[in-house]
Amino acid sequence: LSSVVFEVAHRSENSTIYWHLDEQFVGETKEFHQLAINPTEGKHKLVLVDKNGERLERKFEILGRME
């Protein structure tokens, strides 16, 4: 299976972002906000939360593997 690399920018340089996929914690990033995730086929929700509680939510769908 291939990973998908997600990337986000934050206005504060030293911010920490906590990443959640389908309500499960999958990692945290600081300064460089890129995270490789390996979601299964289907619909998903990615939620990012910073130390101040600011949230960013995005829904996406994995259609299938490329061969």
Residue 13 is predicted with a pLDDT of: 76
C-alpha dihedral sign at 37, 26, 8, 63:
positive
- Unique residue bearing structure tokens 């259609």: 63
**Cα–Cα distance for residue pair 7/65, rounded to 1 Å:** 21
* pTM score of the predicted model: 0.86
Return the pLDDT at 66. 62
**4 touches 34 (CB < 8 A):** no
Is residue 39 classed as helix, strand or coil in its secondary structure? coil
pLDDT in tens, 11-58: 887 899 999 999 999 999 998 899 999 999 999 999 999 999 999 999
In this model, does residue 1 exceed pLDDT 60? no
pLDDT value at residue 61: 94
